[in-house]
Amino acid sequence: MKILLTGGAGFIGSSVIRQALSAGDIEIVNVDILTYAGNLDSLASVNSNPNYAFEQVNICDGPAIADVFTQHQPTAVMHLAAESHVDRSIDSPNDFIQTNIIGTYTLLEQSRIYWQSLAEKEKGAFRFHHISTDEVYGDLEHADEFFTETTAYAPSSPYSASKASSDHLVRAWQRTYGLPTLITNCSNNYGPFHFPEKLIPHVILNALAGKPLPIYGDGSQIRDWLYVEDHARALLQVISSGKVGETYNIGGHNEQKNLDVVETICALLEELAPNKPAGINNYKDLITFVKDRPGHDLRYAIDASKIEKKLGWKPEESFASGMRKTVTWYLANANWSDRVLSGKYRLQRLGEIL
């Protein structure tokens, strides 16, 4: 299998690439424009792998994407490229509309043109896998409710609305043109190489620096947390064994309040990094409650029974084990975080980490 994977320099995409290439029987063509969230440092371990290629291309650029298809002749597409930070979508929605909607449309069209040019055997084997989010479903009111693959869409933010739009486009291209598509909707990811604007790495790095740990509202918002390597394994299972036209929800079975997540991090740091910054007695003392953001959903929770029953996937990491691995990784990889926080990671060239 040769996979054209968009957004491979991002958090989830880089995890998929590292895992796929470790198997030895998959080729990856990483298509990434390298926005602020794209970090080639996260792929340093695969740069010299003969089964890996990188193309710095914008998915909104149809001719450039067409050239990538022509040059590399992939057997599958995994579409992960997306603007994904809710706060940024509230402040500046334009990039989300362009990348998540126009970019997905452009990639679908170029995939369709390429797919229709293939011989029948290759055409039958081709797959387009669109990776989405549980945020398209909106909010859950009751503790016994879960998002399923048939839950109605009710997005709350410009980010989730743009992802909902892209999901609808993928389904339309499958139903109208017959493009063999698959969709997955995942819960909140966490783990190594996570960009520091997101909650868990932001809290870890702020705590180590003795800075405030901001929590929206009272911290009662609930999310289902999915360790990124479990997610990568699920995505590779779907692209290889999923049924065309189907949607699969991927969750970690780890519902936690935001406040509990932050307190868990603080407790792990007390154990693993006891030498605190000057003037800090306990990491928990850094917790600061701030004004809640507009349209903040209260609870997300995934029913992942379909992918478990149909494809045999289930998460390997509990919240406790995954969080310990995550905190341990950040403590051991301060150079990666320092390069992100300083901006040096953006001084990147193909095959060269400056």
Indicate the average pLDDT of the chain.
Answer: 95
Q: Give the H or E element holding residue 78.
A: strand 76-79
pLDDT tier for residue 102 given thresholds of 50, 70 and 90:
very high
State residue 63's pLDDT score: 98
* The length of the chain, given as a count of residues: 354
Please state whether the predicted TM-score (pTM) of the whole model is above 0.85: yes
> Nearest to residue 240, comparing CAs of 173, 177, 182?
182
**What are 251-267's pLDDT values in tens digits?**
998 999 999 999 999 99
Largest distance between two CA atoms of the chain: 68
State residue 354's pLDDT score: 47
State residue 351's pLDDT score: 46
State residue 141's pLDDT score: 82
State residue 348's pLDDT score: 62
**What are 13-26's pLDDT values in tens digits?**
999 999 999 988 99
State residue 138's pLDDT score: 94
**What are 48-66's pLDDT values in tens digits?**
999 999 999 999 999 999 9
Burial call 314-335: b when 16+ CB within 10 Å, e when fewer: bbebebeebbbebbebbeeeee
Whether pLDDT at 276 is above 50: yes
**What are 226-249's pLDDT values in tens digits?**
999 999 999 999 999 999 999 999
Whether pLDDT at 353 is above 80: no
DSSP character for 242? Answer: P
State residue 350's pLDDT score: 46
The whole-angstrom separation of Cα 240 and Cα 259 is 38
Q: Which residues are catalytic?
A: 134-135, 159
The whole-angstrom separation of Cα 129 and Cα 79 is 6
Whether pLDDT at 84 is above 50: yes
More confident call, 292 vs 191: 191
Percent of the chain with pLDDT over 70: 98
Give the lowest-confidence range in 90-94, 152-156, 344-348: 344-348
Domain limits, the chain: 2-353
Whether pLDDT at 152 is above 80: yes
More confident call, 197 vs 151: 151
CATH no. for 2-353? 3.40.50.720
Label the pairing between strands 76-79 and 127-133.
parallel
**What are 297-352's pLDDT values in tens digits?**
889 999 999 999 999 999 999 999 999 999 999 999 999 999 999 999 988 654 45
State residue 249's pLDDT score: 98
| Mean pLDDT, residues 275-284 taken together | 94
- Angstrom CA distances, 126 to 62, 111, 114, 201, 347, stand at 20, 10, 10, 36, 36
More confident call, 279 vs 229: 229
Percent of the chain with pLDDT over 90: 90
